[in-house]
Amino acid sequence: MTMSLRVSHALRAMLLASAVAISACANSPNQEPMMKDNPVIANLRPWCIGRMVFDRPAASSMHAERYEYAGSEIVVEPDNSKERFDRLMAAREKELREKKRTFTISYKEMLSKGLNSMDVETSLPYLEKMATPSPNSRLFIHVDEHVTAYSLLLDAEGYILAGRNLLKLKGVLNKTAVDDVIRRNSVWYKETVARDDWTVPTERGFCIKSALIGGPPFPVENVKQIFQMYAGRPALFSIKMRNSFDFDQKTSLLNAIPDLRRRLDKALLFNKVRVLRAGKREFAGMQAEEVLLAMKDNGVEMFRFHLIAPGTEGDNAKPYAELELRLGAEPRYYRTAEQSTSLVDEAGALQAWDTLLDSFRLRPGAL
């Protein structure tokens, strides 16, 4: 083989190696543009939500939240002291013991007895039963003022002081389940503790804002959080997770594409909707479906990315999950086209979506 041929072969091999290296770099996630250049996913930090963890931008803010656990809706009230908690509990117990139940009689009976109202007061107090699972928690079982004295339904009203956060809980139960509800709820009332929002706990439990609900998993664990991803611009990331049911397996986001398009018709961008991606993907170890839509009109670019994971019934590690990323919004009188358009382009929106979704995982120790 001549010298020129050897050089030619060597040059060809070198070019081929370079091409392979360039291709590998292009396909390697480590070679993507630095996330710090994408304002939607800048400075990510672990965030605990339910029994999951995902990487949330540190500068994002909570836009809305909703929690339900073991049949009780939970509202978190900050800035409470033990002294205030004790005063509130004493006052509430006194009120429920002193207030008397009523029952409703017929109009004819009211007239025959010369009464002025069909509601007759009894000697029974509103309070059916009370429990003190711990010094920092109370559970009141009582009738509702809109329910008659002999109704089978009761209210379960709970309070847990976790650090300086007061968790207010409200649910409904049947009279026959009073003892079971008190026994069941007392377990997780006692094990609910305060936590720093940006600290991911290692103990078993269910994360809500400012608290970790301890105890064993329950069939009802619902969480919804919506984050404002960038101050001053329309950029919302919505997460909803709950226990999975058998009918969730029949849910198909892909079949809902026409409906998603119709919803966007209100923005007068119906004919300009593009489907960027639609299909199946993995999410937190579960099979899921995603539909990614893009719109552009009159200088305003918008993205609506959706994902649904049906989860697995009876498995708290695999809940039903519904996520949405909204970047950009319709112009309004208080918001110009420049302020309404997405703060990232199509590549940036896709990068933000994939980065957020790929970061979801079951929290170690959660179960």
CB 308 within 8 A of CB 253: yes
pLDDT band of residue 44 (cuts 50, 70, 90) is very high
Which residues 6+ apart lie within 8 Å of 119 measured at CB?
A: 102, 103, 104
Q: 3-class DSSP state for residue 64?
A: strand
| Residue 77, CA atoms < 13 Å, CB-side half-sphere | 11
- Residue showing tokens 């809706």: 73
User: What is the rounded average pLDDT of the residues 67-72?
Assistant: 95
pLDDT at 112 over 80: no
pLDDT at 90 over 50: yes
Q: What is 37-70+218-362's CATH number, 3.40.50.9100, 3.40.1000.10, 3.40.50.12280, 2.60.120.620?
A: 3.40.1000.10
For 177, which DSSP code?
G
Return the C-alpha torsion angle 245, 247, 249, 250, nearest 10: -170
pLDDT band of residue 340 (cuts 50, 70, 90) is confident
Q: How high is the pLDDT of residue 93?
A: 97
Q: How high is the pLDDT of residue 339?
A: 84
Domain assignments of the chain as residue spans, ordered by start = 37-70+218-362, 72-202
Per-residue tokens: 70: 């073991």
